[in-house]
Structure 1
Amino acid sequence: MAQAPSILFIMCDQLRADAIGAYGNGLVRTPNLNRLARRGLLCTQAYSTCPVCMPARYTIRTGREPYHTGYYDNGGLHLSESQPADPEARCGDYLPRTMRKLGYRTFGVGKFHTAPWNEELGYEAQLRSEELWNTAEQREGDDYVRFIQERHPEYGHLEQLHGERTEMYYMPQTSPLPAELTVEAWAADRAVEFIDAAEDDERPYFGFVSFIGPHPPLAPPIPFNRMYNPDAMPNPVRGDRETDWMDEQLPWMNHLIWAEDIDDPRARALKARYYGEITYIDQCLGRVLDAVERRPDADNTLICFFSDHGDHMGDHHAWQKESFFEASARVPFLISWPSQLPRGEERDDLLCLTDLFAIATGAAGRLEERDGIDALGSLTGSAKPRERLFGWYGQPGEPTFKVMVRDPEWKYIYMANGGREQLFHLREDPNELRELASFLPDVAARLRQAAREEMAKHEALAPALADGDLRSFPFRARELTRIRQFDLSRGVADFTING
């Protein structure tokens, strides 16, 4: 019997697929991500089926879609009456617990974004580094914060170690820490330590490394803050505002994060910092890849790199994520296993974060697809590829609910708020600038029917159906508000002076 491979999952937060050199971006420098692409397969049509932080992460650790995890947005848990409160009772064992049962040594480093903040996930060793701390207990329980306080107390005064948020969310910034001390460097260093320590353990390892960047604030450390000239950056890609903002969450989100009036010069400056952060993380990633390559089982180590979602970065007159536009929902997906998979090839299979559970368990010899597919089998031709991919966002039965249907050519998006729908022919219009629902009603109707049929299979989605169709609500824009993300763990909740 072939020896089980070691498995390493590496993820970023808010990294667009098209912000990597291997995906065709000729501006950004990502030598190590390009190296990883040469080591295996670059998947061009991979998606986050619920493109926002917490739901995406519960999908990754469970192999389940939101109708099982109960997370459809960052607003909390939404369960049907019949769903048990315990997440593993709803979804099955989390991935790290599953891999431990399969004989793996397991470790996790970085951002996990769990509820509660210190939820036990099943790793033998876990080191947390989160974006925000709502209580003193959370700050004290953050392993990266502890590292700074104990080893580099000269930076202990900083309220926000990863850059300023609130009104500075989409302002070009520089990290308050040197490159060797940021949370990305810390995560890479700890991952290398775990990988090197595996030499003393006969078991294969399952590792999970989760970088916080390039999630805003866009604050790369010196010298990455000045690596890219804003004048060399392209302007955002926009359609007509009426089409771009059919999803009213986009203008609402712009206002929420103080980004409602970003002009092209500032957008270019932000992209320069975004790319600087990506190149910096790429350098950190290189140290992790070097650690893998030093080991004797390097060729029998499966590495999968991905992101939880993208960022509009001004495209479609929008910032942040939480839409089903490509900029938000399509993610990088690199998978390599030199002893088993081809090298340096592209695949256009429809894949998603839900498939990661099957990738890990399948490689370990105990395939468990759950809500995903056998992605390894699909990529090697031994299993049937996915014909359609579905995405979900917002509580079913509420105006915020949205559904996406993606097939090899088309994308259909339905928004319950106003019963609005969009249709894009992605093969001819990859930037989603020509909305076709009213011009091609037969295609829209076919994909809408596919959404209805899929939703009818899942009890938790029943509130999003009405009278045999997708439920709609009279259109209403949400009341505008602002985030105030200061350091709640130290009692800092707002500006000193309000008026």
Structure 2
Amino acid sequence: MASANRPHVFFLMCDELRADSLGFMGNSIVRTPHLDELAQDSVIFEQAYTNCPMCVPARASLMTGRNPLSHGILDNAMRMVEDEQPLPELLREHGYTTTMYGKLHVHRTPEQCGFDEFMNGSPDPYTSFLGIKEPEMRRKSSFKKNEGDIPLVIHGKSPTPPDQTSCSRLTEAYIDRIQDVPHSDHPIFHYLSLLDPHTPYMPTQPYADMYDPAELPLPDNAGRTLADKPITQRYFHKVRGFDKLDAEDYRKSMSSYYGLVTHVDDRIGKVIAKLKELELYDNSLIIFTSDHGAMMGEHGFIEKWGHMYEPVVRIPLLVKLPGGHNGGMRHQSFAEIIDIMPTVLDAAHIPIPEGVQGMSLLPVCRGEKAVHRTEAHSLYYCGSIHTEPALMIRDARWKLTHYPEQENIHDKLYGDHYLKYSAFFDQPLVEGELYDLQRDPYEQNNLFDDPAYIEIKEGLLSKLRSWKEGLGPLANYRGLEQANMNTVYKFILDQTNNWTKVAHAIQGQKGLTQCKRQQPVNVEQ
């Protein structure tokens, strides 16, 4: 049974939802009335950041309250260090019923994460992650896939009826489970994780025609050159086929994406309505967020991959306190996705484990503290092309990213890769980015190698080194030593020579049943 010390927790999460695509975050085009209404009763964190703009690392950080460098999942093909203890497991140990509806995606089973109940959801009858499955239906449909590695639908219309999408059916199942909550003897942690608005960007009707592409303004940096950007960005822009897209594609992607956002808003509205009907809304902790954002033509990118621009690292974050205290209050100080786990524990009066790197948001939510964080951190890593992750730090004005050891990307490509020994890698090596976000919010003028800003750059690099060293022992992330052998993605391996590494790991290490930590590696190595 819920109480003031052990409130029900309703956790609502989307995938690939950028912060500025919502009405309460200032978007005047997208219709999100239900989330806007929830925001009126919630504390709004306007500067919330993911610790990695990639699904599995972000979700593992949310679950553990720890950074990817510590829990071991730095890209989608890796897995956690064995002794990580996820949030649901801690809640269950303290009397909570823990339920999970939707996308988990941390390379552990629901049981291993501490969930009592789990529903994956039935697949969409016509579409899949990669597009429309049935040939006849595909011929009748309108859509476009990017021409490159990981070909995903970047705009189109789904033939699935709106009440039959996997998102809709999952939400209905989640709502059905809410019916039993008032009769339970235990407080509940009820987790809904929706795939939308993740690719494929194929909303169903009426959402598919809700936003006219011709009327959507492009961002100021749409299609901008990447000549002064790190090779990692140029590489993904090329191999994903984003260099073949134009302004019409950006607008159509935006239209499809916005349709998915409004579809999600309607699903969340149904959840909130049920909570109010059952008189669960007022005294529960409700959290709404996303794992990372997406690009809609900024710098020529769609979706994500290879960078840490604001549209992918900034996420929405609402915290509705029991009793609705400080509803509508907006916070400008930084929050990170690792802060969610200790926030839930704090609200449930459960001790926060010593190794948790996140900090509870409740003191600032209650008005007991004015500033939560003065800086935000994130990282990007792809084990097939990187030996060290790119790291990001930003404060109220400046944002710096550092991409170490980029010269290794060419060496790791397999011999017949079409970019091997090409002029592509003869371009100047750019080791990082530095932006004055007050003057350059679209991150167009890279000051990293500008002598006039060397003191600012060195100061931020020093802070980045100190932050990394302060994390303590790190997971052994180099190469594929911490790969999840059951779910290593072919598209990641195909980009380089890692098939031999996988074979060696499987034969010599028996599937890597034991993941170990390593000592901190200097950010400049």
Query: 1:459 aligned to 455, 467, 473, which one?
Result: 473
Q: CA deviation at 1:298?
A: 1.8
2:17·2:293 contact (CA, 8 Å) conserved in 1?
yes
Check if 1:403 corresponds to 2:391.
yes
Q: Is the 8 A contact 2:225 2:299 kept in 1?
A: no
Report matched runs for 1:337-376 at 5 Å: 337-339=321-323, 341-368=325-352, 370-376=356-362
- Aligned-pair CA distance for 1:430: 2.2
Q: Which residue of 1 aligns with 2:411?
A: none
Deviations 1:78-98 (A, max 9, x none): x8xxxxx52xx1x2x211111
- Kindly tell me the number of residue pairs found equivalent between the two proteins: 439
1:440 has 2:453 as partner: yes
Match of 1:473 in 2: none
Q: TM-score, length-normalised on structure 2? A: 0.76
Q: Is the 8 Å Cα contact of residues 5 and 348 (structure 2) preserved in structure 1?
A: no
2:212 is aligned to 229
1:90-137 per-position Cα deviation (integer Å, ceiling 9, x unaligned): x2x211111112221221111111325676321111111xxxxxxxxx
2:344 & 2:108 partners in 1: Cα distance? 25
Deviation at 1:451, TM superposition (A): 0.8
Equivalent residue, structure 1, for 2:61: 59
> Is the alpha carbon distance of 1:267 and 1:348 closer, same or farther for their aligned partners in structure 2, counting shifts above 3 Å?
same
- When residues 266 and 213 of structure 1 are mapped into structure 2, their CA distance, relative to the original with a 3 A threshold, is same
CA separation of 1:111 and 1:245: change in aligned 2, threshold 3 A: farther
CA contact (8 A) 1:255 1:480 kept: no
Corresponding residue for residue 494 of structure 1: none
* Deviates most, 283-292 or 333-342: 333-342
**What is the aligned partner in structure 2 of residue 184 from structure 1?**
167
- What is the CA-CA distance between 1:364 and the residue it aligns to? 0.4
Match of 1:152 in 2: none
Partner of 1:318: 301
> Residue 111 of structure 1 is aligned with which of 103, 107, 113?
103
Letter in 2 for 1:109: Y
Q: Is the alpha carbon distance of 1:463 and 1:225 closer, same or farther for their aligned partners in structure 2, counting shifts above 3 Å?
A: closer
Asked if the contact 1:238–1:244 (Cα under 8 Å) also holds between the matched residues in 2, the reply is no
Indicate the larger mover: 226-235 or 312-321. Answer: 312-321
The letter of the residue matching 2:462 is: Q
Q: Secondary structure at the match of 2:12?
A: strand
Deviation at 1:223, TM superposition (A): 1.1
How far, CA to CA, are the matches of 1:42 and 1:480 in structure 2? Answer: 41
Q: 1:131-179: CA deviations, max 9, x gaps? A: xxxxxxxxxxxx414x969xxxxx9968999998674624421123110
Q: 1:170·1:259 contact (CA, 8 Å) conserved in 2? A: no
> Could you say what the CA RMSD is over the residues aligned between the two structures, in angstroms?
3.1
Question: Shift of the alpha carbon at 1:212?
Answer: 0.5
Which TM-score applies when normalising by structure 1? Answer: 0.80
Contact 2:223 2:246 in 1 (8 A): no
Letter in 2 for 1:421: G
Partner AA of 1:434 in structure 2: N
Q: Please report how far the alpha carbon of residue 69 of structure 1 lies from its aligned counterpart in structure 2 after TM superposition.
A: 1.4
The match for 2:122 among 121, 129, 144 is 144
> Residue 88 of structure 2: which of 82, 96, 102 is its match?
96
Q: Which amino acid aligns with 1:23?
A: M
The answer for the alignment partner of 2:281 in structure 1 is 298
2:436 to 415, 421, 425: 425
Q: Within 1, Cα distance between the matches of 2:69 and 2:136?
A: 37
- Kindly state the Cα deviation for residue 253 of structure 1 after the two structures are TM-superposed: 2.5
For the Cα contact (< 8 Å) 2:45–2:332, is it kept in 1?
Answer: yes
Instruction: State, as a whole percentage, how many aligned pairs show the same letter.
Output: 27
The answer to whether the 8 A contact 1:170-1:270 is kept is no
Q: Do the aligned partners of 1:170 and 1:258 also contact (CA within 8 Å) in 2?
A: no
Shift of 1:319: 2.1
| Cα 1:365–1:311 shift into 2, 3 Å | same
2:190 is aligned with 1:207: yes
Question: In structure 2, what residue type is equivalent to 1:429?
Answer: D
Is the CA contact (8 Å cut-off) linking 1:393 and 1:400 kept in structure 2?
no
Shift of 1:310: 0.7
Please show how residues 271-286 of structure 1 align to structure 2 within 5 Å. 271-286=254-269
Aligned to 2:380: 393
Q: How far does residue 481 in structure 1 lie from its aligned partner after superposition?
A: 5.9
Offset at 1:388? Answer: 2.2
1:432 deviates by 1.8
Which of 283, 286, 290 does residue 307 from structure 1 map onto?
A: 290
Q: Output the amino acid matched with 1:441.
A: I
The structure-2 alpha-carbon separation of the partners of 1:243 and 1:440, relative to structure 1 and needing over 3 Å to count, comes to farther
Q: In 2, Cα distance between the equivalents of 1:242 and 1:460?
A: 35
Unaligned 5+ residue runs, structure 2?
127-131, 407-428, 479-491, 497-525
Q: Contact 1:72–1:395 at 8 Å: present in 2 too? A: yes
SS across alignment from 2:106: coil
Distance in 2, matches of 1:158 and 1:431, equals 41
- Secondary structure (helix, strand or coil) at the match of 1:207 reads strand
The 5 Å alignment of 1:115-126 reads 115=107, 120-126=112-118
| CA–CA separation in structure 1 for the residues paired with 2:217 and 2:494 | 29
Deviation at 1:302, TM superposition (A): 1.2
The answer as to whether partners of 2:15 and 2:198 remain within 8 angstroms in 1 is: yes
* Cα distance between partner residues in 1 of 2:469 and 2:378: 14
CA distance 1:281–1:180, change in 2 (3 Å):
same
* Runs of at least 5 residues in structure 1 that lack an aligned partner in the other structure: 80-84, 129-142, 150-154, 465-477, 483-499
